């Protein structure tokens, strides 16, 4: 398959960076005279760390409708009602990033640089996981071979295993002494350059991130015989230890992409309206208590109330996007402000992974991790400590060690994963069993969505290998 990829130039406050591709075949590029002709590891580092966050946003902007964080203002919107979508833009963005990251990996191996190889391995695992979670079976083993124009698709479990292999490589590279003479360009690391000033500091952060991604991958298979909670419990202690370790990217050409959505909503245009499911989850409708994090996540609608848009039904009349009678993504939130980092993985998420893994074997550890995850998210949002402690003291939240269930864990994790694409994997393996979670109005199928169809470009350019007959209710291997 001749995949012609045009790579964008990433411009940050102090640095303009170009990107190149990796030759012929699937990753073949048009010649672009504005880009550098010879890649370097520092320039590629800037590009791939930036693109990982952009892909997090891109994937999240679609799958957040499936997890009902978002809802369309228009009735029977294709995204809301589970129509097959052509997510070619997200597909291309992910494989653009993978092309650059494969370049970085090749250069790192040539230079015997374990630090760069570790980062490249992490980001390959991260981007492949995004693709794997949306489409399942995707091409990988053959796409970097310039002699193969029509690469085969690896099945969804093989892709998952590949992601684990790459993350294990990353852990090995970060956990052992650095090799090679190449100096790691910390200032070009768009994820950690704000918190790490030296290569050693960056290495420590990336090691924690790698363990966190591995924990996310391991918990995803909780419905299968491959699930090994003991392995998760063995590694989470090596991972993120506080909000300071969160894996996020806050280097934008203009602003956080979610803030752009928020600005559009402030002008009563485009999307970003919050789902009734998500708002009711927090405003007291579903659980009988008001979650004080809600004012830190969105603004009130007219009348000073929190009200969401019903998925598939569109905005309530008579507003029709003219009045602010429903809630939407807010510029005033620490999660979606203009300078807020796009979070790939957070400490809060990791604590809920730990709580789930420990639930059956160590109830005390599970409960402590559950409470730590709640506290960390409150602190990340800047909620007053008194409000935080009062919320945890609610009998339906601070249930006690012997009463904690998977429903309590998933209820709180749902809030923590707001807008993160990994929330869709949680919803599927939990079988969408959030309280009062219902199918969208006018849904085209009678069950919750499980995956998406392949982009039309793949059928046009690699039709002999692109799987056919896929429907949105087909389950991936870990979601049986």
Task: Write out the DSSP string of 169-229.
Answer: HHHHHHHS---SSPPP-GGG-TTTTTT--SHHHHHHHHHHHHHHHHHHHHHHTTTSTT--H
- On the 0-12 / 13-18 / 19+ scale of CB atoms within 10 A, 392 is middle
Centre a 10 Å sphere on the Cβ of residue 276 and count the other Cβ atoms it contains.
23
Centre a 10 Å sphere on the Cβ of residue 387 and count the other Cβ atoms it contains.
16
pLDDT at 39: 87
Per-residue pLDDT reduced to its tens digit, 65-116: 999 999 998 899 999 999 999 999 999 999 999 999 999 999 999 999 999 9
pLDDT at 3: 37
The mean predicted confidence, pLDDT, of the chain is 91
3-state SS assignment for residue 328 = strand
Q: Is residue 327 within 8 Å of residue 306, measured between CB atoms?
A: yes
Per-residue pLDDT reduced to its tens digit, 389-430: 999 999 999 999 999 999 999 999 999 999 999 999 999 999
Residues contacting 368, CB < 8 A, separation 6+: none
For the chain, the structural domain boundaries read 10-254+340-457
Confidence of residue 316 (pLDDT cuts 50, 70, 90): confident
- On the 0-12 / 13-18 / 19+ scale of CB atoms within 10 A, 226 is middle
Q: Is the pLDDT of residue 31 over 80?
A: no
Confidence of residue 315 (pLDDT cuts 50, 70, 90): confident
Confidence of residue 27 (pLDDT cuts 50, 70, 90): low
Q: Is the pLDDT of residue 2 over 70?
A: no
Per-residue pLDDT reduced to its tens digit, 407-418: 999 999 999 999
pLDDT at 4: 33
pLDDT at 33: 38
The topology (CATH level 3) of 10-254+340-457 is 1.25.40
Predicted model pTM: 0.93
Nearest of 245, 185, 199 to residue 45 by alpha carbon:
185
Per-residue pLDDT reduced to its tens digit, 144-195: 888 999 999 999 999 999 999 999 999 999 999 999 999 999 999 999 988 8
pLDDT at 265: 74
Instruction: HSE, CB side, 13 Å, CA atoms: give it for residue 174.
Output: 25
Nearest of 329, 357, 316, 186 to residue 264 by alpha carbon:
329
Centre a 10 Å sphere on the Cβ of residue 20 and count the other Cβ atoms it contains.
20
Cα(57)–Cα(111) distance, integer angstroms: 32
Nearest of 170, 181, 109, 138 to residue 455 by alpha carbon:
138
Cα(24)–Cα(330) distance, integer angstroms: 43
């Amino acid at each position: 398959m001749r995949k012609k990829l045009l790579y964008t130039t990433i411009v940050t406050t102090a640095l303009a960076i170009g990107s190149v591709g990796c030759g012929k075949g699937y990753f073949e590029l048009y010649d672009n005279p504005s880009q550098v002709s010879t890649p370097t590891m520092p320039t590629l580092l800037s590009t791939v760390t930036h693109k990982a966050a952009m892909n997090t946003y891109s994937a999240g902007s679609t799958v957040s409708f499936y997890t009902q964080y978002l809802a369309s203002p228009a009735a029977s919107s294709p995204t809301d009602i589970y129509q097959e979508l052509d997510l070619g833009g997200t597909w291309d963005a992910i494989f653009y990033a993978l092309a650059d990251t494969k370049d970085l990996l090749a250069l790192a191996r040539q230079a015997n640089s374990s630090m760069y190889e570790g980062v490249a391995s992490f980001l390959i695992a991260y981007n492949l996981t995004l693709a794997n979670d949306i489409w399942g079976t995707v091409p990988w083993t053959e796409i970097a071979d310039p002699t193969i124009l029509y690469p085969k698709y690896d099945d969804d479990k093989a892709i998952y295993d590949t992601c684990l292999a790459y993350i294990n490589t990353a852990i090995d590279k970060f956990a052992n002494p650095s090799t090679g003479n190449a100096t790691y360009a910390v200032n070009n690391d768009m994820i950690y350059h704000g918190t790490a000033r030296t290569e050693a500091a960056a290495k420590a952060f990336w090691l924690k991130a790698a363990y966190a991604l591995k924990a996310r991958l391991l918990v995803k298979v909780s419905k299968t015989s491959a699930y090994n909670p003991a392995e998760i419990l063995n590694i989470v202690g090596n991972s993120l230890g506080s909000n300071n370790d969160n894996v996020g990217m806050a280097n934008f050409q203009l602003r956080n992409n979610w803030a752009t959505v928020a600005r559009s909503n402030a002008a009563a245009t485009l999307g970003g309206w919050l789902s009734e499911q998500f708002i009711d989850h927090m405003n007291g409708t579903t659980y009988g208590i008001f979650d004080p994090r809600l004012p830190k996540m969105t603004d009130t609608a007219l009348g000073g109330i929190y009200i969401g848009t019903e998925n598939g039904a569109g905005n309530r009349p008579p507003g029709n996007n003219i009045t602010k009678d429903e809630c939407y993504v807010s510029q005033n939130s620490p999660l979606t402000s203009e300078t807020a980092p796009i979070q790939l993985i957070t400490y809060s998420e990791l604590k809920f992974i730990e709580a789930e893994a420990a639930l059956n074997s160590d109830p005390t550890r599970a409960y402590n991790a559950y409470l730590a995850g709640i506290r960390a998210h409150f602190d990340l949002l800047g909620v007053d400590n008194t409000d935080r402690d009062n919320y945890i003291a609610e009998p339906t939240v601070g249930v006690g060690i012997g009463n904690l269930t998977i429903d309590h864990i998933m209820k709180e994790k749902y809030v923590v994963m707001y807008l993160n694409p990994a929330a869709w994997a949680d919803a599927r393996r939990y079988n969408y069993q959030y309280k009062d979670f219902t199918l969208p109005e006018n849904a085209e199928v009678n069950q919750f969505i499980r995956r998406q169809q392949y982009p039309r470009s793949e059928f046009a350019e690699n039709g002999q290998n692109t799987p056919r007959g896929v429907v949105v209710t087909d389950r991936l291997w870990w979601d049986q």
